[in-house]
Structures are given as C-alpha cells and as structure tokens.
Amino acid sequence: MQILRGFVLLGAVTALFPMAPVTAEEEFPLAINVRQMHMETALTAARAAMAACRAEGIQVGVTVVDRRGTEQVVLRDVVAPHLTLAVSRMKAYTANEMSVATSALEEDGPDSPLAHVPGLFLGAGGVPIEAGGVYYGAIGVSGASTGIQDEACARAGAEAVEIELEMSL
C-alpha cells in the first residue's frame, strides 16, 4: 500500500512538473568540488590585516569567514574594544554574502532594503577573498576611526593570501 501511494505521488508530481529529457549539452556533474581556505591561510590573512592596522597605530578586531559565512579566524588586538569583534564579523559576513567590498554597499545606507536585514553591515571594512576565479570567503576589520582605514587593512589581509591561493590552483 505504501509503495502504491509513492507511485501515485510521483505521478502527481510528474504531471505538475514535467521534465524534459536531458541532452548531452545540458549534463551536469553529480558532485562539485569546493575549494576552502586552510585554517593557516585564513590566519595569515587575519594577521596581515592586523599588522597593516598596527603599522598605522590602530588596534582592531579581525574576522575571516569561509565561503559559507562561518567564522574561520577571529582576532582582537590587545586594547581593541570587544565591540570590534561583532562589527568585524558583520563586515566579513556581508562582504561574503554580497561578494563585494562592503564600501560598495554604503552609498544607499539606511535607504537600502539591505539595511533591514539582520547581521549585514553597509559600511566599509569588509572585502572578499578570491583568487584565480575561485571564491574563498571574506575578511572584515573593525576598530579604526574610519571604515576606509578598516577596509585598507582588510584588503591587505586578503592580498596577503591571494597570490598563494592562486598558485595552488
């Protein structure tokens, strides 16, 4: 009886959503390979971002997220406020989800529909990490007096690993 119900359900679904035959040009792989940054690579990016800010006398928090938006590395300099951790995470998460530097999103500010999405940050300080056409995640920095300074440090972190990531392809 259970098998009969399954066939009836399958028949109903097929009737509602007919499927065209797949041609050779439309074939797709049964699985995909996803490249991820190794933890040490993410740590190198975070340390490079922090070093760039320290060179300017700025204490910051840095977050690197993987391509899924999950924190991979979180660092806070000695006297950087605790708040820098939450903000750097939001910047990294936003850069990752939108696949752009967060400075590109700050123009619309509070008028943007994105401004009402919890967890997003529409100000400078987050940049994607990508190399050789492969997307790896993003890095966010918080603690400088301007988002532009935060973003310069984040960019330094991303650039510190992009060449090596590209060479590994």
For the chain, strand residue ranges (E) read 61-66, 71-76, 126-131, 134-142
HEC string for 1-12: CHHHHHHHHHHH
Tell me the angle at which helices 147-167 and 39-55 cross, rounded to the nearest 10 degrees: 140
Looking at residue 33, its pLDDT comes to: 83
Task: Please check the confidence at residue 14 and state whether its pLDDT lies above 80.
Answer: no
Q: What is the pLDDT of residues 93-147, one digit of tens each?
A: 999 999 999 999 988 777 888 888 999 999 999 999 999 999 999 999 999 999 9
Query: Measured between alpha carbons, how far is 139 from 127 in angstroms, rounded to an integer?
Result: 6
Looking at residue 112, its pLDDT comes to: 84
Structural tokens at position 89: 């995470």
Domains of the chain plus CATH, in order, are 39-167 (3.30.450.150)
Structural tokens at position 122: 């529409």
> How many CB atoms sit inside 10 A of residue 135's CB?
14
Residue 75: phi, psi to the nearest 5? -130, 145
142 DSSP β-pair partners = 61
CB 93 within 8 A of CB 119: yes
Looking at residue 8, its pLDDT comes to: 46
Q: What is the pLDDT of residues 23-79, one digit of tens each?
A: 556 788 888 888 899 999 999 999 999 999 999 999 999 999 999 999 999 999 999
